[in-house]
Amino acid sequence: MADGMSSFWGPVTSTSEFCEKNYAYSLYIAEFYNTISNIFTILLAFIGLVNAARQRFEKRFTVLHVSNMILAIGSMLYHATLQRVQQQGDETPMVWEMLLYMYILYSPDWHYHSTMPTFLLLYGAIFAVVHSVLRFGIGFKVHYIILCLLRLPRMYKYYIHTRDASAERLAKLYVATLSLGSLCWFFDCVFCKQISSWPINPQGHALWHLLMGLNCYFANTFLMFCRAQQRGWAPKIVYRMKILPYVKIEKPKTQ
């Protein structure tokens, strides 16, 4: 939300701003809360990465957690600078991450194993080039929502075939955080003028970041559980410090 202050990064060149006063706390950070709220996602993704690596899950889950971290870092740079280049560094990884989720969700039943990763890789590369040239606005948001919706049928299929109560709870938390986070994003965008007149700004977009960090963690953990079941690794959902769920597996000795 522009206020005319000078800054280290110069004039705003991004096509989107959010409902937070620019440079309210530092000349180096345009949207303070929208920037620091990404740290939570990085921490959760790092915890998931350590668990996946320690138990030697498939590399797809290592890449997934790393992609969550890259996306959060890109978002931090974007909200800190509000520059067009950094906006690309936020939006393009958002699409790449959705393509990676689609691969993890659909590849177990895909009979032609080389075609899916090849197609998704080409799709992601072409999108990055086209988006950098055409600079989609509302088109990007519509495209991203469609990719998100394409995940849901498969997530639902995994959910209805899951008999573990703890895993089912993860799936419900995934839906809950996605729904609540989307509401925060929507109200922050649509009712910014009204919110700006309030004594305290609830920082809806920052809340979106926090909830999406949880959303990605719950989704990743649920998918790791389902994949471990497919591989016969006897997965269990256990809790770190009785708060944070993660998947514990027991691989057969032959693996």
pLDDT digits (tens, 9 = 90+) for 173-232: 999 999 999 999 999 999 999 998 999 999 999 999 999 999 999 999 999 999 999 999
**Residue 4: per-residue pLDDT:** 46
- C-beta neighbour count of 166 within 10 angstroms: 17
Residue 174's nearest CA partner among 226, 96, 110 is 226
- Percentage of the chain beyond pLDDT 90 is 81
pLDDT of residue 254: 66
- pLDDT tens for 68-82 read 999 999 999 999 999
Distance CA 226, CA 168 (A): 11
Q: What are phi and psi of 238, to 5 degrees?
A: -120, 170
Beta bridge partners of 248: 236
The pLDDT-based confidence of 116 (bands split at 50, 70, 90) is confident
pLDDT grade, residue 138 (50/70/90)? confident
Rounded distance, CA 153 to CA 160, Å? 11
Which parts of the chain fold into alpha helices (H)?
Answer: 32-36, 38-54, 59-81, 84-106, 115-134, 138-160, 165-190, 192-196, 204-231
Q: How far is the C-alpha of 133 from the C-alpha of 29, rounded, in Å?
A: 27
Rounded-to-integer distance, Cα 194 and Cα 105, Å: 40
Phi and psi, residue 248, nearest 5°:
-115, 130
Using a pLDDT cut of 70, give the percent of the chain over it.
96
